[in-house]
Each structure stands twice: as structure tokens, then as C-alpha cells.
Amino acid sequence: MAPTSPPRLRVRRFEARTVPGQLVFTAARVPDRIFLRFIDPVAPSAGPRDLSYGAFRTLVRRAAAFLATAGVGPGDRVLLLAENSPEWPAVSIAAQTLRAEPAALFASLAAGPAEEIARRVRPKVIFVSGPAQWQKLAGAAADLAAAGLKAVLSLDPLQPAEVPAGVLLAHRAALAEGAPALSRADLEARAGEVGEEDPFLILFTSGTTGRQKGVRLRQRSIVHAVDCGVVGVQAVEEDLGLHLLPFGHVAGHDQFCLAMAQGHSLAMITRKEDVPRALALRPTYLFSVPLVYERMRSAALEKVAAMPAPLRALIRAALAASERVRVDGSGAPLDRLLGAVADATVGKKLKAGLGGRVRGLFSGGAPASTALFRFFEGLGLRYVELYGMTETAGLVSIAPFDGPRRAGSVGLVTPDHEVRVSAEGELQVRGVLCMAGYLEEADAEGAFTEDGFYRTGDLATLREDGTLWITGRKKHLMVLSTGKKIAPEPIETAVASALPFQGAVLLGEGRPFLSAAVFVLQAELDRLAAHGQEAAEALLPLARAALAPFSEHEKPKKLLVIPGTPQDYPALITPSFKVKRDALVGFLGARVAELYRR
């Protein structure tokens, strides 16, 4: 009997094969269905700004008319530097409809990197949310105008003197009711001319070292990601997804385009402070990075820690039992009884806080810890990991929504990828989801194998049942002076998921043993000091306890404690919330060497 191929993700092929085509198709099919429920940060007491699919199509028509007036066409670029809003994707899709190439920047990007990237992109039009974002580019404005910049579209007003002479300045009115717009027939005709090899977007990797690379994605990449994603997340047309991720992040586009292709609704926010307002709309699923879910878990566990001792012990035992029941399959009567206690206490409050209708938490962008997975799954909230990267349109694999899901597994690979694991353990992929290339050809050096497989840089195993397991980063592999090789990511994730740690980075390259830099809230450090305890010594046993499954050489022997969270140190993190290892070592300076002299 011939060997059978391992199982792959199921897919649903949408009829329209480009993003503009999918907008046209869905808006014609369900024009009055609400697409976006935008939580406007400037109106905190107001309800959401609702846009139907038909209204969003009209917004795209106006944006396309503005871009066309500025001379945008095939081969031109439109740079977007703005916080999330309905206008952001409208301008991007309008540019795609004109067969131009949008380029997205994280709104949190500092002025220096933003200006440097703008010079590389050489846009014909720039879209910003207002003066604060424009100021990041103002230093390059004259050079950008000389290189072909024709217009600036700012939602909040700029002064005419702020843009170079000869550059058209427009504001929100250019996209408002009454503004010029392409006719529906013109939009549909132009959308019909867009092909799968036409541009979708340039996204800039938030790499932890070096300059950011511009990843050029084609229409085929995002459309195939949607084909796989809609089945992988089991989305239905009645869904209301909570759109948390910025449009500088590939996953923000994956969720947006998935909803648009299928026709379900999204609650969109600009700021993390508006999450409670969005949750009040009672979403049915969330899609975010593990950091957001770690904060939810930490908040719940901190409330448990504040309970009186007998009750605290009961609830902790109940949470552990709920994990054994739902994750490990325990049928023990006591476990089931305690699990019901966890459901009725922590689980009930957590689900109510999420709006009461959430059926799944979808997680990508970074590995999730075993503790995080077990916590949510134990309380009956499906925790579904997705794996991918900007260069693969955000998708390589998804853990099955309808199970079984396992901690550490990132699920089944999409059938639109060829995958293999090299002799060195590196995952390599090839297929239609992969990028067309980088903005600068020099950045592609070493990115592909001779036979065209993209080198992900991730260490992985692919099991006979088809499940993919990511074990670390090839380029981050640490080598101790003893010769031991260590993948830091799983260890860092395990420590960061244990209270009271807010983040962790391993240290020890070329040293005889591992140490770790850990982030801890100042309140916890003050508590330890009040009890006369030295933080590094008091916290080391907790860090090592979180690493019980790891080998002794994989556990840190010393800690460096940093007050706060990684997000309190913007220079140390990427826009997608990863700690820059080299920047952290530079920040710590002589403290690292001193650690190994003691």
C-alpha cells in the first residue's frame, strides 16, 4: 500500500481572486450588512461608527478618485502612516484597484525609521492620520517631492506651509460625503483588471536587528491566505470579530481581508484603551498576539492571588483541575467537580468580561506558552494558534478550531505551501503565499534556497500526523562555552508566562551558563523590598520553577531584574512587541559582564 500524505488544512476557494474583486463581490451580495463598527477614539462617549459593505465600497470609490486625481497608476506607490481607521484600508484598496503598490508603516514607528523608509519607498501619495504622523516624515518632505511626491492626504488638518510647494494637500473632506468618487461601474471595471500578480502591499518587517526589510506581497498571497484562514478559524457570516492588530502587521490585513471576503463584521479599534468599548459590542472571536492574552491571564490570576488564603487555594486547585479535564482528558470525579468550580468563578467572569459571546481566541505573531494555552482551554475558551510571517502573508499553518489542539503545536500546514525541514532543522516553504521579493534586491541575499524555498529561520519538526511544531529560531540559537546549544524562545516564553514576570530574555552566549533579564512590575519589586528581599535572588526560584520540563542547562542560574514591562522601554521593542535582543544587551551594558564575574 502506498504511503498516505499527512493531513493538510481544508480550504475554501473564493470566486474573486483579488482583494478589490472580493470587495466588489461582497458589497454587491450584502450591501446593507454592517462591515465595520469603528470605535472612534475622539468620541469616547459615542457609540461605534458603523459602515455597511456598501458604505465602505463608497469610501473606496472616493479614495480611488482622489488617488487618480493625483496621478496614481500602475507602478506608483502610496505610503500609509496612520492609526487604524476605516479610511486606512479604503486608501490601500483604492491604490490596489488602480494597480499601484501601497506601503504600510506601523503607526508607532519613530521619526527616524519612518523617514528612512519613506525615502526608500519614494511614494507618489502619502496618507497620514494627522500632524503627529506627518511630522515623522517632514524632514524628508522636500526630497520626497523632488522624487515624485504629488499629494498628501491627512485626516486631521495640516497647515499648507507644512507640505512642499507644488504638493497637493487634502484632508478628511476628500473622503467624505459629497467628495468626487469613481462610479460603481468604473470601480468594478478597474477591479476586474487587477490580476493575482498585481501588488497587494509592501509591509516592513519589524526585525530585531538591522534595518527593516520591505516585503512585497502580491494579490495571490493574501487571497490564498484567506482561502485557508476562513476554514481554519471556522468563521461564519454571523461573526463579529474584534480587530485589534495594526495595519502595519500582516495579521491585521489577514483578519480584515478574511472578513471582507466572507462578509462578516469587525469591531475596529485604534487604541488599546478602547478594548473595553469594543468588548461591549459582544464580539464572537478575538485575533491578537499572545501578549494581549497574557495580560488577560495575568489580570485573572492576580485577582485570585488577592483572595483569602483558603479560597485562593481552592480556586488555584480548581484551575489546575479544569486544565486536566479539558486539556488532558481527565475523567476523575474530583477533577470534574473542581473544574466546574473554575468555570463558575474565574471562567464565568472572564467570559463576561469578553462580552459573553467569544467562541475562540486566535493567536499569532509569536509563540504562546504552554501555561497560556492550558489556562484558556481549561476554562472552555478555544485557544487557536496560527503560524506564519510577513513573507508568507502571515500564514503557514493553523491549529484546528474543531480540535484536537495541543500546546506547542501550530497545527496543520496549508495545502498552498510546499514545506520541508532542512538537515539543520530549519523550516523552509515554497508556494503561492510567499512574497514576490523584497523592496531592495540586496535584502533577498540568502533568503531562498537554490530551488526556491524560503528560509523561515525557524527551527521546526513536522510530525507524521501533519502537525507542525516550532522549536526556536535558527539565527537566535545560543551556544554556551560548554558547547551546549539552546533555542531561547521556548524558555523565554515559559518564564514570561509565570507570575510575576512580564517578559524575559536569555543571556549567556559564549558563557558557561544561562542567565536571564526579566521584567517585573515596580509594585512587586517594592513589595519584595519591603520584606527585605533582594529581587534577583527572590525571583530566581520562580523563574526556574516555570522551567520544570526543561533540562538543567536550559535554566538560568542568575537574573537581572528590569522594572516594568518591555513596553515601558520603546527603544527595546519592535512595533510587533518583540524585544530587540541586541538593543537589550546594549541597554544592560556592563551589568551583563558583572553578572558573570560574581
Helix residue ranges per DSSP H, 333-399? 333-342, 348-353, 370-378
Q: What phi-psi label fits residue 548: left (phi over 0), alpha (psi between -120 and 50 degrees) or beta?
A: alpha
Tell me the backbone φ, ψ of residue 242, rounded to 5 degrees: -95, 115
Tell me whether strands 214-218 and 437-438 are parallel, antiparallel or unpaired.
antiparallel
Q: What is the pLDDT of residue 598?
A: 64
Residue among 504, 572, 581 at smallest CA distance from 110: 572
How confident is the model at residue 576, as a pLDDT? 67
Sign (positive or negative) of CA dihedral 398, 400, 406, 412: negative
Round to whole Å and give the CA distance between 451 and 433.
16
User: Using CA atoms, how far apart are residues 159 and 203, in angstroms rounded to an integer?
Assistant: 29
Beta bridge partners of 27: none
All domains in the chain, ordered by first residue: 19-288 (3.40.50.980), 290-473 (3.40.50.12780), 478-597 (3.30.300.30)
- The whole-angstrom separation of Cα 430 and Cα 73 is 30
What does the alpha-carbon distance between residue 81 and residue 105 come to, in Å, rounded to a whole number? 5
Q: What pTM, to 2 d.p., does this model score? A: 0.86
Contacts of 407 (CB under 8 A, 6+ apart): 327, 368, 370, 373, 374
Q: In what order do the strands lie in the sheet with 199-204?
A: 168-170, 151-154, 125-128, 77-81, 101-104, 199-204, 214-218, 437-438
* Average pLDDT along the chain, 598 residues, taken 10 residues at a time: 68 94 98 97 86 98 98 97 97 98 92 92 98 95 97 96 95 96 98 98 72 93 93 90 93 96 96 92 93 87 90 96 96 97 97 95 85 94 93 94 88 93 93 94 90 92 91 77 77 88 87 90 90 92 89 89 88 78 84 80
pLDDT at residue number 206: 61
Answer yes or no: are the C-beta atoms of 382 and 394 closer than 8 Å: no
Give the rounded distance of the alpha carbon of 484 from its chain centre.
Answer: 32
What are the phi and psi torsion angles at 527 (to 5°)?
-65, -45
Q: At 43, is the secondary structure helix, strand, or coil?
A: coil
Q: Measured between alpha carbons, how far is 398 from 414 in angstroms, rounded to an integer?
A: 8
Residue with cell 526589510: 213
d(CA 547, CA 490): 10
The pLDDT of residue 341: 97
DSSP-derived secondary structure for 44-108? TTS--EEEEHHHHHHHHHHHHHHHHHTT--TT-EEEEE--S-THHHHHHHHHHHTT-EEEE--TT
β-strand pairing of 199-204 with 101-104: parallel
- Tally helices (H) and strands (E) across the chain: 20, 26
Q: Residue 438: helix, strand or coil by DSSP? A: strand
**Ramachandran bin of 67, using left for φ above 0, alpha for ψ from -120 to 50, beta for the remaining angles:** alpha
How far is it, in rounded angstroms, from Cα 148 to Cα 122? 7
* Identity of the residue numbered 498: A
Ordered alpha helix ranges (H), 208-249: 219-232
Taking the C-alpha atoms of residue 274 and residue 277, their distance in angstroms, rounded to an integer, is: 5
Cα angle 341, 372, 329; round to 5: 55
Instruction: Using the Cα atoms of residue 398, residue 402, residue 404 and residue 407 in order, give the sign of their dihedral.
Output: positive
Whole-angstrom distance, CA of residue 541 vs CA of residue 577 = 27
Residue 464 corresponds to which cell in the numbers above? 507524521
Sheet holding 515-520, edge to edge: 501-507, 515-520, 558-563
Coarse DSSP helix, strand, coil percentages of the chain, rounded to the nearest 5 percent: 40, 20, 40
**DSSP structural state of residue 567:** G
Task: Name the nearest CA neighbour of 126 among 147, 97, 108.
Answer: 147
Cα–Cα distance, 8 to 44 (Å, whole number):
44
- pLDDT for position 483: 67
Of 197, 157, 174, 173, the closest CA to residue 70 belongs to 174
User: Cis ω on the peptide bond leading into residue 404 (within 30° of 0)?
Assistant: yes
Predicted pLDDT at 422: 93
